[in-house]
Amino acid sequence: MKVSSITAPTNLHLEKRKSTAFLSAVKKYKLLYLMILPGLMYFVVFKYMPMGGLVIAFQDYQPFLGIAGSEWVGFKHFIRLFTEPTFMMLLRNTLILFAMNIVIFFPLPIIVALMLNELRNRHLKNWIQTIIYIPHFMSWVIIVSITYVFMTVDGGVINEIIASLGGKKISFLTSPEWLRTIYIGQIIWKELGWSTIIYLAAITVVDPQLYEAAE
C-alpha cells in the first residue's frame, strides 16, 4: 500500500510535466504548427471524413433519402457479392490487373527517371518532363474521353490509320481481350510522369561521392 501511494502521485506528476512540455513546445513553435494545419485539414476533410460514407454498404442506399433515411440491410450486399456466379471472374480480373500494375507500371518510372538523370541537355530534359507530367493533372474523365477518341471504331484515330494501311478496324473498346491492355496503358500515360518526378527527385539528392565509391 505504501509503494502504490508513492507511485500514483509520481505518475500524475510525470503526466503533468509531459503535458506542460507539449504545450510549451506548441507555444514556442506555433508558426510551425500553423504551417502543418492546412495539410492536416486536407487529410481530415478529404481522407477521413469521407470514410463515414462506407456505411452505405450496409444500406439499400437511396440518394434522395440520404444516409439517415435509407434502409439498413446488414450484410445483404456482401452476401450477394460472394454468391454471384461472376464473383470468381471479378476476383481473377482484379488480381491480374493488380499484378500488371506491379510488374509493368512499377518499374517504368524508375527506368525513365534513370534515363532522364543521364541526360545532359537540360532543355530536352525539361521538355520531356513537361510532356509526360501533363496527363497527371487531367481527370480520369478526360483520360477516358481521349482514349475513346483514339480507339473508337467510328472515326477513331488509330482505327483510321489501320484502315488507311489496308487493315481491318479493331473494336478496342468492346473487345474483352483489349481491356487489360487499355487499362494499364491509361495508368501508364496518366501517372508515369508524376511517379518519374518523385524518383528523379530522390536520385538527384544522392551524394555524388556514393557513385564514385560504387565505381
CATH of the domain at 173: 1.10.3720.10
Task: Kindly report, residue by residue over 150-162, the tens digit of the pLDDT.
Answer: 988 888 889 889 8
User: Closest Cα partner for 136 from 197, 182, 194?
Assistant: 194
Whether 95 maps to a domain, the answer reads yes
Whether 130 maps to a domain, the answer reads yes
The distance between the two most distant Cα atoms of the chain, rounded to a whole number of Å, is 97
Whether 34 maps to a domain, the answer reads no
The pLDDT value recorded for residue 201 is: 85
- Give CA separation, 118 vs 110, 113, 122, 133, in Å: 13, 9, 10, 18
The pLDDT value recorded for residue 1 is: 46
Answer whether 57's CB lies under 8 Å from 70's CB: no
Cα distance between residue 16 and residue 11, in whole Å: 9
Whether 123 maps to a domain, the answer reads yes
Whether 13 maps to a domain, the answer reads no
pTM over the 0.95 mark? no
Whether 46 maps to a domain, the answer reads no
Cα distance between residue 81 and residue 89, in whole Å: 12
Task: Kindly report, residue by residue over 92-136, the tens digit of the pLDDT.
Answer: 999 999 999 999 999 999 999 989 888 888 888 889 888 888 999
Q: Could you tell me the three cell numbers for 106?
A: 512499377
Cα distance between residue 190 and residue 132, in whole Å: 8
Whether 126 maps to a domain, the answer reads yes
| Phi (first) and psi of residue 72, to 5 degrees | -80, 130
| DSSP secondary structure, the chain, as one string | -HHHHHHHHHHHHHHHHHHHHHHHHHHHTHHHHHHHHHHHHHHIIIIIGGGGGGGGGGEE--TTTHHHHSEE-TTHHHHHHHHSTTHHHHHHHHHHHHHHIIIIITHHHHHHHHHHHH---HHHHHHHHHHHHGGGGS-HHHHHHHHHHHH-TTT-HHHHHHHHTT-----GGG-HHHHHHHHHHHHHHHHHHHHHHHHHHHHHTS-HHHHHHH-
Cα distance between residue 170 and residue 159, in whole Å: 7
Spans in the chain with pLDDT lower than 70: 1-14, 16
Cα distance between residue 110 and residue 65, in whole Å: 48
The pLDDT value recorded for residue 12 is: 65
Full domain range(s) for residue 210 = 86-215
Answer whether 196's CB lies under 8 Å from 116's CB: yes
User: What total number of domains does the chain contain?
Assistant: 1
| Phi (first) and psi of residue 200, to 5 degrees | -65, -40
Whether 8 maps to a domain, the answer reads no
